[in-house]
Amino acid sequence: MPAKHTPGKHKSARRRATEAAWIVVAVVIAVVGGLGVWSFTTRSADDASSSADPAATGSSTAGNGGATSNPSAGTEARDTRLADCRRDIAAGEIAVEAASASYRDWSSHVNAERDHQNGKRTLAETEELWAKSRANGDEDVSRFKDAEAALQAAGDGCGKLASTEDGGGAEADDAADKDDNAIGKCLRRDTAIDKVVSAGTQVNSQWESHLRKMKTKSAVDPMTYHREWLDAVEKAVPILEDFRAAQSSLDEVPACPAA
């Protein structure tokens, strides 16, 4: 006997099949969608990370760049200090020349007396040397004072250069063999000049004092004047020797090279 056809059962079976199919489709869509979201999220994170890296790198580079010194700037600064030192030395050379004039006159005046005491010169010869040595005395004293003032006004250019070069760091390293380069020669010259000028200051002071006393000689007791004069000669000897030694040392030091 043929099976009895039941329409309700067929509809129910188709409905269940259809629902199953939709469930499968929904699952597939959910999986695919999830993969897409995961991919997008990961890619966005990677993009954000990539975008952040250049900024971080740039910041690091900028930081390193700020900490790194500019070699050309250091060279320019040193050149400026060296130029200041050269000006200092130029003023010092003028002071040395002026001091040498006072030394020439004062030492001639003193040595004339010493030679007379030792019987090497007559009184007439001694007085002739005295007159010759004091002829330009006032002018030489004033010239040294002006030169010394100009030297002080020039500042301590070489002192600043020396403190930088000896102070360490890259600049000191770059100034290897300083005694053989321009900086070394200029610093050595400046040191020698300072010693001559310092000794010259004492020479000039003694010579100025005696020039002033000679102008008032007639108003002073002859015995008192002669005693003071002999005392001045005795005190002048070591001062003149110091100047001569400083001048000799300066003569052995090379000149500061021009720019």
Residue 101 has pLDDT above 50, yes or no: yes
| 254, amino acid identity | P
Burial state string for 30-53 with b = 16 or more CB within 10 A and e = fewer than 16: eeeeeeeeeeeeeeeeeeeeeeee
Provide CB contacts within 8 A for 218, sequence distance 6+: none
Residue 164, pLDDT score: 82
Ranges 122-131, 173-182, 208-217: which has the least confidence: 173-182
Average pLDDT, the chain: 78
pTM value > 0.75: no
Provide CB contacts within 8 A for 225, sequence distance 6+: 213, 217
Residue 258, pLDDT score: 85
CB 154 within 8 A of CB 91: yes
The CB density around residue 234, as the number of other CB atoms within 10 Å, is: 11
Token code pair at residue 163: 């403190």
Give 178's DSSP letter.
G
Residue 71, pLDDT score: 55
* 144 vs 70 pLDDT, higher one: 144
Provide CB contacts within 8 A for 148, sequence distance 6+: 95, 98, 197, 201
Residue 63, pLDDT score: 43
Categorize the per-residue pLDDT at 10 as very low, low, confident or very high, splitting at 50, 70 and 90: very low
Residue 69 has pLDDT above 60, yes or no: no
Residue 187 has pLDDT above 50, yes or no: yes
DSSP string of 214-259? HHTGGGS-HHHHHHHHHHHHHHHHHHHHHHHHHHHHHHTSPPPPP-
Ranges 136-150, 174-188, 236-250: which has the least confidence: 174-188
Q: 196-254 pLDDT, tens per residue?
A: 999 999 999 999 999 999 999 999 999 999 999 999 999 999 999 999 999 999 999 99
DSSP string of 83-143? HHHHHHHHHHHHHHHHHHHHHHHHHHHHHHHHHHHTTSS-HHHHHHHHHHHHTTHHHHHHH
